[in-house]
Amino acid sequence: MNMANPPTYESSTERVQAWLDAGTLHIRFNNPARHNALSVDMWEAVPRLLRTAQDDDRVRLAVFSGAGEKAFVSGADISQFEDMRAAREAVARYEAMAEDALMSIHDFPKPTLACIRGYCIGGGVNVAISCDIRIAAEDAVFSIPAARLGLGYRYSAMKNLVDLIGPGAAKDLFFTARRIDAAEAKALGLVTRVSAPAALEQLLAEYTGAIADNAPLTIAAGKAITREILKPSPELDQALCASLIRGCFESADYTEGRTAFMQKRKPVFTGR
């Protein structure tokens, strides 16, 4: 990407805010009147932002959060269900749109992090488990209420859940639709770290600072190889994994990392 004219991050809807801050692309769901429930325009905004960020060397990671203190995402905006999900054709369109948004997060080659306060329900859980890392405040509440709504749950979302917390815990949450707190979510592996609400911003800064400072090629290779590991063995691309590892060792960043270590200074990585 031509950095002489770097891209700007302007969301296609006011209900999604986006800004770049010191290597971190922040994407914030901004529908507080509905506890950040995901409307159609919000789903559509996410892939556009991530497509731009994918080739922007300034972006080292993407962070997803919810506006206000009451919710990360409280699910889909059910006020749109009658129009968007009542008829068969509308269901197909809605599911394709949501799938595109979630897969754009899941397949983003750089690290993604969900920073969760308050309600993380349904589609909010799907956004969170599409990310690489999840941190949460102690006031976070998680639930997957699909069974109370009678809707079908797509394969990719169920696979992400099972890959993350295992089939037993996934079936527990899915079959019962029960709500769990941040402590149980951490015990299940649904979130990585939990903090007091007042300390969540500092915990987020710890993650964004560490990831932005570390070697981008090494991180990208680690993310891609992890994805290969989770595939069924016949689909595992060993050649891709070997190529990614070789690319790290052949990079200027590897030289910089070794030199900085010997000189006892902090390395400055460029992603090249």
The b-or-e profile of 238-254 (16+ CB within 10 A means b, else e) is: eeebeebeeebeebebb
Q: How far apart are CA 207 and CA 210, in angstroms?
A: 5
Nearest alpha-carbon partner for 134 in 156, 119, 112: 112
Please tell me the chain's helix, strand, coil percentages from 3-state DSSP, rounded to the nearest 5: 50, 15, 30
Domain count, the chain: 2
Q: Looking at the structure, do residues 183 and 59 belong to the same domain, yes or no?
A: yes
Q: What is the pTM of this model?
A: 0.89
Q: Do residue 86 and residue 179 come from a single domain?
A: yes
Same domain, 28 and 129: yes
Residue 92 within any structural domain of the chain: yes
Largest distance between two CA atoms of the chain: 65
Q: Are residues 30 and 125 in the same domain?
A: yes
Q: Is 195 part of any domain?
A: yes
Residue 247 and residue 195 share a domain = no
Q: Are residues 52 and 101 in the same domain?
A: yes
Distance in angstroms (rounded) separating the CA atoms of residues 179 and 173: 8
Question: Is residue 133 included in any domain, yes or no?
Answer: yes
Is 35 part of any domain?
yes
The CATH number of whichever domain residue 133 belongs to comes to: 3.90.226.10
Calpha distance 96→102 (Å, rounded): 10
Which residue, among 110, 96, 98, 95, has the nearest Cα to 51 in the 3D structure? 110
User: Do residues 208 and 229 both lie within one domain?
Assistant: no
Would you list the DSSP string of 77-105? -GGGHHHHTSSHHHHHHHHHHHHHHHHHH
* Residue-by-residue pLDDT tens, the chain, 272 positions: 556 678 889 899 999 999 999 999 999 999 999 999 998 899 999 999 999 999 999 999 999 999 999 999 998 776 665 655 556 676 778 788 889 999 999 999 999 999 999 999 999 999 999 999 999 999 999 999 999 878 778 889 999 999 999 999 999 999 999 999 999 999 999 999 999 999 999 999 999 999 999 999 999 999 999 999 988 877 788 888 888 888 888 899 988 888 998 898 999 999 88
Q: What stretch of H or E contains 135?
A: strand 133-137
Q: Structural domain of residue 146, as residue ranges?
A: 16-212
